[in-house]
Amino acid sequence: MAEVITPRAVDYPQWYLDVVKQAGLADNSEVRGCMVIRPNGYAIWEKMQRALDRLFKETGHVNAYFPLFIPLSYLAREEEMAEGFAKECAVVTHYRLKAEQGRLMVDPQAELEEPLIVRPTSETIIWNTYKKWVQSYRDLPLLINQWANVVRWEMRTRLFLRTAEFLWQEGHTAHATQQEAEEEAHRMVRVYQQFAEEYMAMPVLVGPKTEGQKFPGAVYTLCIEAMMQDGKALQAGTSHFLGQNFAKAFDVTFTNERNQQEYAWATSWGVSTRLIGGLIMTHSDDNGLVVPPRLAPLHVVICPLGRNDDERRPCREAAERLARALRERPRDPFFGYEPLNVHIDTLFDKQIGFRAAEYEVRGVPVRVEIGPKDIAQGTCVLARRDQPGKEGKQFGVPLENAAERIDALLRDIQRSLFERARRYRDNRTVTARNLDEFRDLFPVRKDDNEELPWDALKFVYAHWDGTRETEEWVQKEFKATIRCLPFDGPQEPGTCIFTGKPSARPVVFARAY
């Protein structure tokens, strides 16, 4: 099998598609804009779900489920949201088909009185429900999350990064006070940061979006922003403080301790299968997928070798003993209290190069080889996915403590993936002191772009006057947007490099996915 992944330096978008395909993560479906998530990809999503769900539960949230279909009129209730999503809603207008001359067609007799939209997000239907659930301050807070699919009819789609239908979670909370709601919005964006950094090994910037980039209907939006290997930014998660906008639109009031009617305060927050795209573009290399161990569907693959049955049998038996030892290791929080996933590959008829490459493409963090020479010495060979080739191999590892060594190796891989990604981002984060410097960092002429290396883009700190006009001008001129105003970045005031007006603090510009 000579299926080869396009190197990143040759064609980065093609590299991404190659990895998604060959690692068995997803396929384009026959349905425009929608994807089939394949088992290897879905397994990563399940690992993400499990970890996130635990973090949500630990912060007091519970799961529920609300309808896929939302009456059109609900969306219209919140003006900003209606405006924001109107152009990308799928609409259900009929409830029946009929067969005519052997052809199925929509039955014109079966038109719905009111069209239903397929949820692009669930604030409206949820707040319409909260109206019934909230009467007293004693009913608050409501801390509810839902795992669901949503549909946004995008013009151009890319596997995982932007599809017409995607899977996500959406938290929707209602609070008695503004302060409590704002704390919730901040708490959850920090949960996302923790998840991104500790599980995905993906460093993120955390902070508010600008007025122009916030979620329609929000008072403000907090986000986590990650840098992909090509230097582009990926919005990986958002947490919104919604103020009383939805409470007012859906008339959700409660009686406070002083017997006064008040509107409830709201937040919503979500991450989606887009994270899988982020995971790929943070760690993977020209050999294929790289998955941090905490999210890997398969932690360890053991490949026994041997030319004939006599050589293979002892290798296989050693592989089975090692697999058992790995699966029986004490469970701990690092792996979500779950046993290690270990696979023994017995495709003896394939060459080891083929077998190794296959698991490399699929991103299995650790590969073990046990051959006749190892059996003679009671050893095995460990190969770590994050360092492909000979550098990442440890030869002559004694079989008796191999399980411990592998366990430690998995933790080391997780750690070093994060450190490597953070170094990568920090090395590509710069400050533009004036417009000329900025212009050099975001070249727009075609021929300039073609000469640029694939990983030339950067995160650029620059002073901005805080106006929407300037932001839009920059976006038009340089195709770069303000990704966020990082909490943990520099905060000194200065002078806007675009207009010369005063700037409250530097903000981060980048090209974005």
The least distance separating RNA from the CB of residue 369, rounded to whole angstroms, comes to: 4
φ/ψ (deg, to 5) at 109: -70, -15
Site for RNA in 233-272 (CB under 7 A): 235, 238, 272
Q: Which of 134, 121, 214 is nearest to 174 (CA)?
A: 134
Decide if residue 157 touches RNA (CB under 7 A). yes
CB 148 within 8 A of CB 121: no
Decide if residue 18 touches RNA (CB under 7 A). no
Taking CA atoms, 295 is separated from 139, 195, 228, 305, 335, in Å, by 37, 11, 18, 28, 9
d(CA 58, CA 187): 12
Decide if residue 102 touches RNA (CB under 7 A). no
Give the angle subtended at the CA of 186 by the CAs of 182 and 191, to the nearest 5°: 145
Q: Where are the beta strands (DSSP E) in 1-118?
A: 26-28, 35-37, 62-63, 69-71, 91-94, 97-100, 103-106, 111-118
d(CA 101, CA 406): 65
The smaller minimum CB distance to RNA, of residues 162 and 186, is found at 162
**Interaction mask 30-69, RNA, x per CB under 7 A:** xxxx------------------------------------
**Interaction mask 289-328, RNA, x per CB under 7 A:** ----------------x-xx--------------------
Contacts with RNA by CB under 7 A: the residue count is 63
Decide if residue 357 touches RNA (CB under 7 A). yes
Using DSSP, state whether 261 is helix, strand or coil.
strand
Stretch that binds RNA, among 58-66, 331-339, 360-368, 399-407 (CB under 7 A): 360-368
Burial class of residue 10 (count of CB atoms within 10 Å of its CB; 0-12, 13-18, 19+): exposed
The least distance separating RNA from the CB of residue 94, rounded to whole angstroms, comes to: 17
Any idea of the CA torsion for 436, 439, 440, 445, to the nearest 10 degrees? -140
Choice from 124, 169, 173, 287 touching RNA (CB under 7 A): 287
Choice from 18, 184, 197, 369 touching RNA (CB under 7 A): 369
Using DSSP, state whether 181 is helix, strand or coil.
helix
Choice from 50, 131, 329, 393 touching RNA (CB under 7 A): 393
Choice from 132, 156, 258, 445 touching RNA (CB under 7 A): 156
Decide if residue 87 touches RNA (CB under 7 A). yes
Choice from 52, 81, 383, 474 touching RNA (CB under 7 A): 383
Choice from 81, 290, 291, 370 touching RNA (CB under 7 A): 370
d(CA 225, CA 241): 18
Q: Which two tokens stand for residue 184?
A: 């919730």
The smaller minimum CB distance to RNA, of residues 54 and 162, is found at 162
Residues 6+ positions from 310 with CB-CB distance below 8 Å: none
Choice from 129, 145, 163, 470 touching RNA (CB under 7 A): 163
Which residues of the chain form contacts with RNA (CB under 7 A)?
1-5, 13, 28, 30-33, 87-88, 152, 154-158, 161-164, 166, 213, 215, 235, 238, 272-274, 287-288, 305, 307-308, 348-354, 356-358, 360-361, 367, 369-375, 380-381, 383, 388-389, 392-393
